[in-house]
Amino acid sequence: MAPGPPVSTFVLLYLVVSFLEPEVIGSPDPIFCSPGADVVLPCHLDPELDVRDLTVEWSRTDRSTRPQYVHIYRNRREVSTISRTRLFVEQLGHGNISLKVLNVSAEDGGAYRCFIPKLRSRTLSHLLTNQHLLIIKIHPSNCQIQKNCFEPGVTARSRVTVVVVSLLVVFAVVGLFVAFCVFKSRPENKGDGHAHNRPLKLTLRDTLQLTLRDTLQLTLQPIDEQHQCGQFRDQPAGGAVL
């Protein structure tokens, strides 16, 4: 039975999906607005993703146990429940899902949520019902991403670097695992009859001794042959010894 894929393969797929899936990002700083003015609740995807064929939901989460929808974009159509909200439709192709609220009033205060059902990420914002409009607080699951996403140098390219490093680590682990499996699967020679096929395990001392012995043999052999030939030349013909 063929072995199944190693666990590292599933880890690799999980890392790729986790790091490359776009995140819903809001503003890390408070946004103020005077009553009667217009305000934009910033929200976008990082990295950019065309959401023109996806569903975008803006809702309030402070009115009841169930979210109360404020603005819905579905099937390339917008539906505003309070008639004072709109999306930047021309920028949806670049992942901009910010919501513009017109003629802000005290009734607009509360908790709002930006959510794309096909993505796991979402953003929560709070609007205060006093003389100013304040957007604070991010969904806990995105706090770290939200806090860093607007800092200089922290972009989707940085996340790609993390992905590349993670892939290299995973490939190294997979390579070690494969090498270990190949080494363990090599047949072992058993029995004295095959002892000559076993690889010799020589120490450094044994290797030096063998090398010195072979060198001496190659050096002494010509000398012995010359000595024997000299003895034959000294003997008289016919084999008589004087």
- For residue 96, the model assigns a pLDDT of 94
* Long-range pairs, 94-97, Cβ under 8 A, ≥24: 94/44, 94/48, 94/50, 95/22, 95/44, 95/45, 95/46, 95/47, 95/48, 95/49, 95/50, 95/51, 96/43, 96/44, 97/24, 97/43, 97/44, 97/45, 97/51, 97/56, 97/73
40: buried, middle or exposed (CB in 10 Å: 19+, 13-18, 0-12)? middle
| Domain range list for the chain | 22-153
* Global model pTM greater than 0.75: no
Return the pLDDT at 142.
36
Q: Output the pLDDT for position 70.
A: 92
Residue 187, helix vs strand vs coil: coil
CATH classification for the domain delimited by 22-153, as one of 3.30.2010.10, 2.60.40.10, 2.30.130.10, 2.40.50.90: 2.60.40.10
Q: Which residue has the higher pLDDT, 71 or 160?
A: 71
38-47, 123-132, 147-156, 220-229: range with highest mean pLDDT:
38-47
* Confidence (pLDDT) at 119: 80
- The residue ranking higher by pLDDT, 40 or 157, is 40
Average pLDDT over residues 211-215: 57
For residues 150 and 105, which has the higher predicted lDDT (pLDDT)?
A: 105
Q: How confident is the model at residue 177 (pLDDT cuts 50, 70, 90)?
A: confident
Q: What is the pLDDT of residue 62?
A: 76
Cα(139)–Cα(235) distance, rounded to whole angstroms? 111
* pLDDT of amino acid 155: 46
pLDDT for the residue 141 = 34
Q: What pLDDT is attached to residue 98?
A: 92
Q: Which pLDDT score, from 0 to 100, does residue 5 have?
A: 55
| Tens of pLDDT, residues 135-157 | 433 333 333 333 333 333 444 55
| Candidate ranges 91-95, 165-169, 208-212; pick with highest mean pLDDT | 91-95
pLDDT: which is higher, 40 or 28? 40
pLDDT of residue 124: 56
Question: Average model confidence (pLDDT) for the chain?
Answer: 67
